Every structure is written in C-alpha cells, then in structure tokens.
Amino acid sequence: MKRQYHSCDLQQLCNQQVRFAPREQKIQQIDRAERLHSELKPEQMYSYEYICFRITDYRPDFNPQQTISGVHAGHDLRLFIEDVSDAANLAVTDSVEPVHTVDDLSRKFHVATKTISRWRQQGLVGRRFLFGKRKRLGFLSSSVERFIAQHPQRVQRGGQFSQLSDEERGEVLVRARRLAEQGASPSQVTQQVASSVGRSVETVRYTIKRHDQANPQRTIFPTESGPLSDERKGQLYAAYRQGESVEVLARRYGRTRASIYRIVNEQRAAHLMQLSLSYIYNPAFDARDASEVILQPLPKQESSVQRSRMPSGLPHYLASLYEVPLLSREQEQHLFRKYNYLKHCADALRSQLDLVRPKGRLMDRIEELYEQAVATKKQIVQANLRLVVSIAKRHVDFSGEFFALVSDGNVSLIRAVENFDYGRGNKFSTYASWAIMKNFARTIPGEFKHRDRFRTSYEDLFFSEQDDRADPYSQEVAQQLRARQVGTILSYLDEREQKIIISRFGLDRTCEPQTLHEVGVTLGVTKERIRQIEAKALDKLRVAAESEKIEHLE
C-alpha cells in the first residue's frame, strides 16, 4: 500500500534511502529523523533543505523553495522512520533498549489498541522490527517516554476514558456471551456490544480478549491455542468441501476468515499434489496450436459404421453396455490424445504451484483440467466395457464366477487406458485384450491350485456329473439380491461409517476400493483413525446381518 506523504521531496528522499543506502546508514538516518521529530514545533515552517540536512548530513543538489509546516513535517518524518526501518530489517533482539508492541502499550496504559493508533498520529514514533520471522511495529522505551513527557494529559485521559468499571465490564461480557451462543461471529459480537454499551469496538474486543485469557475454561470465543494440527486442518478442509461456510468454520475453530481461506488453500494444494497425473507423452503436445487441435469436439461417427444389435433378455448391467456406441479408429485416437494432453497440461501447471501461498486461479485450472481428463477416460472405458464381457465369457468355464471376472477385467481395462501409447498406431482393443487376458492368466490358475487341494477320490464322478451351476444371468439376479441385503445392513451405520465402508470395499460402482490413507485424506483424519472406525463398523454389520438373518456375510 502506498504511503501518503505531504511532501513529495521527503517521499522521494525516503525512496532513495530505502533502495540505495547501506543498512548502517539507514539506522543512523532513522535516529536522526526521530531526534528531529522531537524538536519540531507545530506552528513553525521548515524548508526541505533543512530537513534533508538534519537526516542525511548533506544538502540536496537542487535548491527547492518548498516549505512544510511542523505538523506535516512530523507526519512525514514518522512515515520516513517506519519505511526506512522496514527496509533495514531491524531485529528486535538487536535493540539496545526495550521495545514495546502495540499490545504491550495497550496493557501498560490500560487503553485500547485503537487509542495507540491515535497516539501515533499525534506524535508517538514507531519502527518496524523483526519479531522472529514476522515484522511488527515496535516502540523504543525512549520514544514512549518522550511522548509521555510531551503529552502527559492526553495519556492520562486515554487511560481514564478506556477504564471500565466492574459493573460495565460484567455487562459487556454478559452481552457478548449471549450473542456468541446465538452463533454471532466475533466481529458481530464486538460491534453490537459496543453499540449497546456506548464504548468503542476496540475497548469491547480488548475486554473480551482479557477475559478469555484469564478464564480459559469459560471463554466467550472458543479458540484453539497454537497452530492447528494436520488432522484438524484436514477436518476443516473436509467440512469446507461438504459445503460449510467460511463464517461457520471461523467461529468453530476460533480463527479469522483470512486464516480459514489460507488453511483451505493449503489443504487444497496438498490434495492436488497427490493427484495421479502420469501420462504418455507425445511431441504433438508441444506444438503452438496444440490446444486448438487436440481439444476439438469428438469427431462424428461415420454413417457406414453399424451399431451392434442388443440380444434380448440381458440383465440391466449388460443391456446398458449396448447403449454406448463403439468408437471408430479416429474417435479412439482423438480421445486418447485428448486424455493424455489434459494430464500433460495439468502436470505442467502443478509444477508451478506454491504450496506455501497457492493461487486460487491456478488450482481452479488444475482441477478443471483433471476433471476433463477423468471424464475423457470414463468415456473411453465405457465404450470398451463390452470387450471385457466378451473375454470374460470365454473364461467363465474355468473360473465359474462370471461377474467376478467382469469386475476384475474392468480394473485391467482402466489400467490399460492409463498405459496405452496411442502414438504407436495400434488399436486399443488389441492392447486391452492382451492386458485383460494376461490378468486372467495370472488369477485363474491360482484358483485351480486352490481347488486341487480339495479334490477327492470321487474326482471322475464329479467330472461325469452334469454341471448344474447357474448361468451368468442367474448370477446377476443373485448379485442384485446381495446388493439389497448390503444396503439394508448399511442402514445400521451412521453417515461417516457408511462412507468409510463403501469407500474401502468399493460398494459404490462409480469408485474403486480405496486404501486407508485415501479415505483418510477424503474425510480429513488419519489412516489409523479410519482403521478404528472401519473395525467398529464391521462389528455392527455382523450384528445387523444376524438380526436380518443374512447368511455368508464375510
């Protein structure tokens, strides 16, 4: 924010010293400026040449005729001292005399911090100091004593005016607590109470602050001391994602709205850093017109391509697959190019993300690109689900679990989409078929080994008997029955337990099973806490299964 000087020459002098003067020279000029400030007389006029000489010990090259009153000169010298001390990076530990903050003076003189701000306008000189890693305004003891000597009555009046009686203080606290319990924010409480009791907002705020510090068990504004833990930040972010407003979160966590926004952005940036943005690179991504060419709408299906005829009597899941048209070779290439390019752009933007101070617009763009990539991937997967069913039918005699094979094959299909290099010119169906059958080759022999352990001397009799196993369509009906049973016993859990069980075991068909860590990130708690809640929820489900007389719940 630009500082408003009365004298343009003094402002130019300040800019020169801030930019070019060595640190030791800055410190000397700060001392000189404060000494001059204490000697000024409000009714007297001063030339710029005189002020410049007193500060720098040299006379300006030009000879301005401008003069400035003592009042305006005092104002500009105060700004000069603050600006130059800010540039000098003065550490409070290096000061040879005690340094008081605004809060220190407020407590010492029993006045509001706003009163200290008025005293600054009336001649109290402060400097910018480094308190640890943070710069704050500080006042040397000599500067404070000089101001008290020059304005003894003003200091005395300030203390008397801001001093509340015990009865007034009690009224302020009672009103503040009543409003806080009704859900008012700290800002709303202080403003309404100040208006009611005829006191300044700063006086009310300081009174409440002192009460909360002295009574940590009965605070009016519940606050969490110190910085929030990573777990609490995760919970805050999860609540924000679920639609809770910043104002509500600020009251709950005892933080300002600005700090809530900062925590949300930090957690959002951390979440973006965990996104999987690996992709298959193609030189076409670096072309100048890559976005215009690659992100065009999907090419239209050729009229010569005939849509597959849907057999009659199919279960709902299999019938829904025929509603999605197959992709032509051109459409397939377009979608794979678009999918990998979107992730390429998102990854490039993510490399620019500053985790300490993330920019909202940059994160918006990364999320937008990632969501477009996920939607494109889903479009490719849906168009190839019939391929999984076709391959699973050829292996069902070996495994006996048709829909289990379909589910396993769908996972292989998703991985194939992520790893397919469209730039080699091969058809995706060829690559995906190889990936799915390779996965079946690993899993099915393992099932044979498991069954071989339980074969008996009646093996020939078993193989000679007719196979009465249910066909895939009957198994679909059984699967739907199991889904209804699962929905029934899930109703015995609370909302959070349901979310954890559904996410962990992939009961929602739109999502794959998630790890403890992934569920913890979503809900804003640790993976150990998720494990504990999951174990408790499974115990509830076993009891619910017995109550509903559901068998074989494992």
Residues 16 and 142 in one domain: yes
Residues 27 and 91 in one domain: yes
Place of tokens 């976005």: 291
Q: Does position 124 have pLDDT exceeding 90, yes or no?
A: yes
Residue of 85, 111, 94, 100 whose CA lies nearest to 163 = 111
pLDDT digits (tens, 9 = 90+) for 487-522: 778 888 888 888 888 888 877 655 677 888 888 888
Residues 78 and 177 in one domain: no
Q: Does position 477 have pLDDT exceeding 60, yes or no?
A: no
In a domain, 303, yes or no: no
The confidence score (pLDDT) of residue 306 equals: 53
User: What is d(CA 243, CA 247) in angstroms, rounded to the nearest whole number?
Assistant: 12
The structural domain count of the chain equals 4
User: What is d(CA 22, CA 33) in angstroms, rounded to the nearest whole number?
Assistant: 16
Residues 123 and 186 in one domain: no
In a domain, 512, yes or no: yes
Tokens of 147: 């101001």
Helix H or strand E segment including 554: none
CB 45 within 8 A of CB 67: yes
The confidence score (pLDDT) of residue 509 equals: 59
pLDDT digits (tens, 9 = 90+) for 171-211: 888 988 888 777 676 778 888 888 888 877 777 888 888 88
As a dihedral over the C-alpha atoms of residue 222, residue 225, residue 228, residue 229, rounded to 10 degrees, the angle is -120
Residues 55 and 103 in one domain: yes
* pTM score of the predicted model: 0.46
Residues 62 and 128 in one domain: yes
In a domain, 443, yes or no: no
Residues 6+ apart with CB under 8 A from 524: 231, 233, 234, 235, 236, 237, 238, 239
Tokens of 285: 């991504």
Mean pLDDT of 291-316: 73
Q: Rounded to the nearest 5 degrees, what angle is found at the Cα of 27, between the Cα atoms of 24 and 32?
A: 130
Mean pLDDT of 131-157: 88
The confidence score (pLDDT) of residue 468 equals: 45
Alpha helices (runs of H) in 218-328, residue ranges in sequence order: 230-241, 246-253, 257-273, 290-294, 316-321
User: What is d(CA 406, CA 308) in angstroms, rounded to the nearest whole number?
Assistant: 20
The confidence score (pLDDT) of residue 209 equals: 83
Q: What is the mean pLDDT of the chain?
A: 82
What CATH number corresponds to the domain at position 534? 1.10.10.10
CB 46 within 8 A of CB 70: yes
Residues 537 and 505 in one domain: yes
Of 87-101, 301-315, 363-377, 497-511, the range with the lowest mean pLDDT is 301-315
Mean pLDDT of 255-280: 89
Tokens of 543: 């009891």
* pLDDT bucket at 159, cuts 50 / 70 / 90: low
Residues 170 and 234 in one domain: no
Mean pLDDT of 163-171: 80
Residues 203 and 238 in one domain: no
As a dihedral over the C-alpha atoms of residue 224, residue 226, residue 231, residue 233, rounded to 10 degrees, the angle is 80
User: What is d(CA 107, CA 120) in angstroms, rounded to the nearest whole number?
Assistant: 16
Specify which residues 130 forms β-bridges with.
Answer: 91, 135
The confidence score (pLDDT) of residue 451 equals: 46
Residues 530 and 488 in one domain: yes
Sign of the Cα pseudo-torsion (85, 89, 92, 95, in order):
negative
R_g (Cα) of the chain, nearest Å:
37
Residues 59 and 179 in one domain: no
Mean pLDDT of 153-166: 67
User: What is d(CA 99, CA 92) in angstroms, rounded to the nearest whole number?
Assistant: 7
Q: Kindly report the length of the chain.
A: 554
pLDDT digits (tens, 9 = 90+) for 305-333: 555 666 555 677 777 887 888 899 899 99
In a domain, 446, yes or no: no
Percentage above 70 pLDDT, the chain: 84
The confidence score (pLDDT) of residue 189 equals: 85
In a domain, 294, yes or no: no
Mean pLDDT of 55-82: 86
Residues 36 and 144 in one domain: yes
Neighbours of 209 (CB within 10 A): 18
Of the two residues 530 and 254, the one the predictor is more confident about is 530
CB 183 within 8 A of CB 133: no
In a domain, 234, yes or no: yes
Place of tokens 């603050």: 82
User: What is d(CA 253, CA 221) in angstroms, rounded to the nearest whole number?
Assistant: 9
The confidence score (pLDDT) of residue 107 equals: 83
The confidence score (pLDDT) of residue 140 equals: 94
In a domain, 256, yes or no: yes
The confidence score (pLDDT) of residue 302 equals: 67
The confidence score (pLDDT) of residue 499 equals: 87
Of 15-19, 444-448, 480-484, 534-538, the range with the lowest mean pLDDT is 444-448
Of the two residues 407 and 55, the one the predictor is more confident about is 55
> What percent of the residues of the chain are helix, what percent strand, and what percent coil, each to the nearest 5?
65, 5, 30
pLDDT digits (tens, 9 = 90+) for 107-119: 888 777 778 888 8
Pairing of strands 99-100, 134-140: antiparallel
Q: What is the domain extent for residue 268?
A: 230-273
User: What is d(CA 120, CA 165) in angstroms, rounded to the nearest whole number?
Assistant: 27
In a domain, 419, yes or no: no
Q: Does position 464 have pLDDT exceeding 60, yes or no?
A: no
pLDDT digits (tens, 9 = 90+) for 428-459: 998 999 988 888 877 665 554 444 444 444 34
* pLDDT bucket at 553, cuts 50 / 70 / 90: very low
Q: What angle in degrees, to the nearest 10, is found between the helix axes of 201-214 and 166-181? A: 80
First-residue to last-residue Cα distance in the chain: 65
CB 363 within 8 A of CB 265: yes
HSE at residue 168, side-chain half, CA atoms within 13 A, is: 14
Q: Does position 251 have pLDDT exceeding 80, yes or no?
A: no
Helix H or strand E segment including 91: strand 90-91
* pLDDT bucket at 126, cuts 50 / 70 / 90: very high
* pLDDT bucket at 22, cuts 50 / 70 / 90: very high
